[in-house]
Amino acid sequence: MKQPIFTGAGVAIITPFTAENKVNYPALKTILEYQIAHGTDAIVICGTTGESATLSHEEHTEAIRFTVETVAHRIPVIAGTGSNDTAYALHLSNEAEKIGVDGLLMVTPYYNKASQEGLVRHYTYLADRVSTPIIIYNVPSRTGCNVQPETYAELSKHKMIYGAKEASGNISGIAKTISLCEPDFTIYSGNDDQITAIMSLGGKGVISVLSNVAPQVAHDIAAAALQGDFETSRKLQLQYLELCNALFMDVNPIPVKQAMRMMGFDAGPLRMPLCDMSDANTEKLRCVMQKYQLI
């Protein structure tokens, strides 16, 4: 029986950069400690929100190493190790395993647009060659590739494929996936505005952008649902819906990095081709952050 790598709210953490565009490890340590002190249930490093697409291989592995060493087993650490190149995904995953992560978050191959059979072969090839639990990351708006429920059902049988971060936004599809998959296959919401909805269908938590600025809130939404208190979870979900939406008024992680700067974190710049929001959107975000008393 596969046990969830974590339950609750795992933060899809940003990667802070210096003014010279290097990974800012002292700032990352501050952010990690803040997350742990404020209820985050897991750290997801080098994911989309961490601008993994622009990290060099050396930066990617060093950020994982630094996070594992800093967290020091206090909560699980999950590393983004997916790629559109199956061989490179395996290489990166094996390196993350040696560092000592608790899980591997593997995005579907992007740009290539693999078929469903291709996805089965891709993930099976990887799962056969790792000894660390895999979470599939399905985000078709970014990858051009969507995992179908029947594909999940096939992959859920593998002993090393533990679950999925579902950011398709398709609640009906997610419900079908849960109905078809092995009972020990864990679904996490990949969208902060759908935590309660997905958990009401049997999901076990969220991999969250919201957690960067409001870790206790994301934790509480998920924790209430885990306890079967969906009324409390629903109220919190709706109470913070405007904040969830504001953090996606531009491409992630543009707004959340701006929000963290507003909060006083040394988040640093975005790496090109990403750039800061317009002044108008920045002011809208500031107003929302003030409304929720985050600044």
Q: Total domain count for the chain?
A: 1
CATH number at residue 25: 3.20.20.70
Q: How do residues 109-166 score in pLDDT, each as one tens digit?
A: 999 999 999 999 999 999 999 999 999 999 999 999 999 999 999 999 999 999 999 9
pLDDT at 124: 98
Task: Work out the angle at residue 96's Cα, subtended by the Cα atoms of residues 91 and 101, and round it to the nearest 5 degrees.
Answer: 150
47 belongs to a structural domain = yes
Between the alpha carbon of residue 211 and those of residues 157, 215, 248, 256, 268, the distances in Å are 31, 4, 13, 10, 18
Bridge partners, 135 (sequence order)? 105, 163
Q: How do residues 11-61 score in pLDDT, each as one tens digit?
A: 999 999 999 999 999 999 999 999 999 999 999 999 999 999 999 999 999
281 belongs to a structural domain = no
Question: Which residue, 87, 40, 201, 203, is CA-closest to 135?
Answer: 203
Question: In this structure, are residues 265 and 292 in contact, taking their beta carbons and an 8 Å threshold?
Answer: no
Query: Domain of 166?
Result: 8-232
pLDDT band at 106 (very low <50, low <70, confident <90, very high): very high
48 belongs to a structural domain = yes
92-118 mean pLDDT:
97
Number of Cβ within a 10 Å radius of residue 75: 19
237 belongs to a structural domain = no
pLDDT at 26: 98
pLDDT at 1: 87
177 belongs to a structural domain = yes
For the cut 90, the answer to whether the pLDDT of residue 290 exceeds it is yes
Torsional sign, CA 125, 166, 10, 48: positive
Q: How do residues 212-255 score in pLDDT, each as one tens digit?
A: 999 999 999 999 999 999 999 999 999 999 999 999 999 999 99
248 belongs to a structural domain = no
288 belongs to a structural domain = no
Q: How do residues 142-151 score in pLDDT, each as one tens digit?
A: 999 999 999 9
Q: Which amino acids are annotated catalytic?
A: 137, 165
Question: In this structure, are residues 89 and 119 in contact, taking their beta carbons and an 8 Å threshold?
Answer: no
Q: Report how far residue 82's alpha carbon sits from residue 136's, in angstroms, rounded to the nearest whole number.
A: 9
pLDDT band at 95 (very low <50, low <70, confident <90, very high): very high
Residue whose structure tokens are 């594992």: 68
Question: In this structure, are residues 42 and 8 in contact, taking their beta carbons and an 8 Å threshold?
Answer: yes
